Amino acid sequence: MTENAWTRWPSPEALGRVGISRPRRMLAWAVRALVIALLLWGAFNQRHLGVWSGLAAAAGVVAAAGLAWGFFRATYQHRMVPSLSMLAALMGIAVAAEATGFRALALVLWCGCGITALERLPLAAATPVTAVGLAAYSAFNNDVWLTTAASVTGMALAGYVLRLDAEARGNAQRLLAQERAARAAEAESAALAERARIAREIHDVLAHSLSAQLVHLEAARLLIENGADRQKILERVVAARGMARDGLAETRQALSALRGELTPLEDFLSELVSGADGAEVTVTGERRPLPAEASQAVRRVAQEALTNVRKHAHGAKVHLRLDYSEHEVKLDVRDSGGRPGELTGSGGGYGLLGMRERAELLGGSLDAGPGEEGFVVTLKVPV
- Domain 264-383 bears CATH identifier 3.30.565.10: yes
pLDDT category at 41 given cuts 50, 70, 90 is low
Of 39-43, 147-151, 253-257, least confident by mean pLDDT is: 39-43
Return the higher-pLDDT residue of 92 and 45: 92
Picking from 276, 281, 282, 280, the residue whose alpha carbon sits closest to that of residue 311 is: 276
Q: What is the pLDDT of residues 286-297, one digit of tens each?
A: 888 888 778 888
pLDDT of residue 348: 41
| Beta strands per DSSP E along 191-349 | 279-284, 318-324, 328-335
Please say if the pLDDT value at position 24 is more than 70: no
Q: What is the pLDDT of residues 252-309, one digit of tens each?
A: 666 666 666 567 888 888 887 776 667 888 899 888 888 877 888 888 888 888 878 8
Return the higher-pLDDT residue of 93 and 211: 93
The Cα–Cα gap between 167 and 312 comes to 69
pLDDT category at 330 given cuts 50, 70, 90 is very high
Return the higher-pLDDT residue of 234 and 313: 234
CB 160 within 8 Å of CB 130: no
Q: What is the pTM (predicted TM-score) of this model?
A: 0.46
Amino acid at 193: A
Query: Any idea where the domains of the chain sit in the sequence?
Result: 3-142, 264-383
CB 79 within 8 Å of CB 73: no
| Sequence-distant contacts of 240-247: CB under 8 A, at least 24 apart | 240/213, 240/216, 242/275, 243/209, 243/212, 243/213, 243/216, 244/209, 244/213, 246/209, 246/212, 246/275, 247/205, 247/206, 247/208, 247/209, 247/210, 247/212, 247/213
The residues, ordered by sequence, that sit 6+ positions from 64 with a Cβ below 8 Å of its Cβ are 90, 93, 105, 109
